[in-house]
Structure 1
Amino acid sequence: MSIYKKEYRYAKLTAFYALNLANFNMGTHHHASCEIMYVTTGSCEITVNDQKFILKEKEFIFLDSFIPHKLVVNQQCTILNIEFLVGTDINDFDLEPLKNASVSYQEISLIKPMFIVSNDSRSLGYAIKDLINLMTNANSDTSEITFLTNILFQRMILELFHSLATEKSAKGMRYINKAIAFIQANLEDELSVPKIAEEVGINKSYLHQLFKDYTSYSIGDFISKKRLERACFLLINSNKSITEIAFQAGFNSRQYFSNTFEKNFSMPPRDYRKLHGQTLESSTINGQLRLDDHNNWSLSKMK
């Protein structure tokens, strides 16, 4: 009953609370419902799959269905909690229009995280409070209350995925920056997508998606681009041979380097060097020019 399954378009509230707790320990458990735990004051400890997280004010955790988790409170802490089922059976809330309209939902559904710990990036806390207040204080089940409940639930889901996407974006930039730094530091070595993904700490499918989103390049094209940039620098600023430059830039043969270079710059590396090169020849004056006390350049013979 994962919220990320496209066919699960309907939702139903199954539990909610707003509690101020001082000492509380809810053992490891799981359920079919998705869950949001949001801290408004104080802090609490959440354990998910043996990973411990401390939630503080305006932080929350979202748990997809059937994710084992544990809650421990050791000091004064106010927690808002919402649990809801999603599925194919017609129920209280139809999520289909929201899923189609929310770019944030579509972004998160690409990676399908089992759980995310995040900050409230906009108004999730207010959305949960308003929904719980309505559910707690409504005296009758009128069509007006039903309509308002639907609006507040949809608002909460929108705010949830906005916060999740914001957290995903920040993490995505960290992953991309780490991957780029690794690539640039290892251009001379054999670089593979699994190797880069392992270094960054994410799976290769997610890495591919991040590169597409943030650089508009595939990983292979990005590596080739960086190797060509290094080759151009060496052609202009060094006296190294074309073969040396090819291997130093990470190409496995001079021929492959020359073919790739000409394909991208419409000229062979040697012609590029002639056109742009600024290499310095050895001085013929056999000395060093220094600025003297009279602000004139004078020749000092090298010993």
Structure 2
Amino acid sequence: MLRRDNVPFYMEMTACDTLCGLHSLSGQDTGTENQLIYVANGCCRVNLPDKDIRPAYRNIIYLHRNVKYDLEVPEGETNLVYRIHFLPSADPVHLDLDSMCRNSDTMDGFMHYRNRYCFLIDQENIASTINELIREFHGSSPQRNSMITALLTILYIKMARSFFTKRKAAGISYISLAKKYIAEHSSDPMTIQQIADNVGISRSHLESLFSKYAGRRITTHINTVRVDRAAALLTLTRKDVLEIALEVGYENRQHFAREFRRRYSVSPSQYRKLYGTPHLSGTQPSGGTKQPPES
């Protein structure tokens, strides 16, 4: 929840800077503000303490409180960047962001993102809302404050949606990278920490992504890859069961046999008798190739 001393607060749009052409703003600090940097045309550069971001057309950077940064807009008639300033307010005429966070996990996650800044690619037509918001802010139409509050509500909802759409895509991408690493190294001793380090995220985050998007634990996936490869070797080669167990990444026969039976409901030796290639195993298969359960 977004509260100050356990008192609900409201978000007010207080200023909008128009940066056209060459600008170099070093030593910026959001302080008590939240700020939004929107590239209406061209590009710019935002240098944060841990990252250098170069947003382009329709990209957005949302900065939370106490973020230090440098902002550079390169020379060129086509470059147009807006910087919008937001401040907490006690006046309920403004956006009730506190209630929005309490009533929406998506909004709460967006506003409490641990990095203190969010880079957004416009996937919700945020640009049209920002442009309308800027026009309304600089105008003097009837019910101006009500319109600004309504547009801010839409803006924050769209930003939260874009943020989580991006995170879902990123999460699936991380899973793909992890699966690729597992497939290429399934025969090697492997820890979840090694996989996470290779992918570039924390172990806990990788485990959470697997549970959320793959529907199973990462250790289950590792065992599935190894056991399925073992099943093929049992079917197509005369290699000893222990040799196969070691080849696919298990350190002993007992662990391998336990995981194999969990997936195929028979022991490795029974599997070979049932489905081994006749001219290799000396036995006649009794029923085609065994298909593992859906995983």
The interval holding the TM-score normalised by the smaller chain is 0.7 to 0.9
1:52 aligns with 2:52: yes
Q: Is the 8 A contact 1:80 1:128 kept in 2?
A: no
Which residue of 2 is the match for residue 32 of structure 1? 32
Match of 1:138 among 137, 140, 144: 140
Distance 1:64 1:166 in 2: 20
Which residue of 2 is the match for residue 186 of structure 1? 185
Give the match's secondary structure for 1:252. Answer: coil
Q: Is the 8 A contact 1:102 1:158 kept in 2?
A: no
Query: Shift in Å at residue 199 of structure 1?
Result: 0.9
Which amino acid in the other structure matches residue 43 of structure 1?
A: C
Q: Is the 8 A contact 2:2 2:101 kept in 1?
A: no
Which amino acid in the other structure matches residue 242 of structure 2?
A: T
Q: How many residues align?
A: 276
TM-score (norm 2): 0.82
Give the match's secondary structure for 1:37. Answer: strand
After superposition, residues 1-303 of structure 1 pair within 5 angstroms as 10-17=9-16, 19-30=18-29, 31-49=31-49, 51-76=51-76, 77-85=79-87, 91=92, 92-99=94-101, 102=104, 104-105=106-107, 108=110, 112-138=114-140, 144-278=143-277, 280-281=279-280
Query: Shift in Å at residue 235 of structure 1?
Result: 1.5
Which amino acid in the other structure matches residue 69 of structure 2?
A: H
Query: Shift in Å at residue 156 of structure 1?
Result: 0.3
Identify unmatched segments of 5+ residues in structure 1: 283-303
Query: Shift in Å at residue 83 of structure 1?
Result: 2.6
Which amino acid in the other structure matches residue 49 of structure 1?
A: P
TM-score (norm 1): 0.80
Distance 2:111 2:226 in 1: 34
Identify unmatched segments of 5+ residues in structure 2: 282-295
Which amino acid in the other structure matches residue 120 of structure 2?
A: S
Distance 1:43 1:256 in 2: 56
Which amino acid in the other structure matches residue 64 of structure 1?
A: H
Distance 2:3 2:252 in 1: 46
Q: Whose radius of gyration is greater, 1 or 2?
A: 1
Evaluate the alpha carbon distance shift between residue 236 and residue 3 of structure 1 in structure 2; reply closer, same or farther with a 3 A threshold: farther
Distance 1:75 1:157 in 2: 31
Give the match's secondary structure for 2:227. Answer: helix
Q: Deviations over 1:105-149 (max 9, x none)?
A: 366578633323232112111111222222221356xxx444322
Q: Is the 8 A contact 1:211 1:219 kept in 2?
A: yes
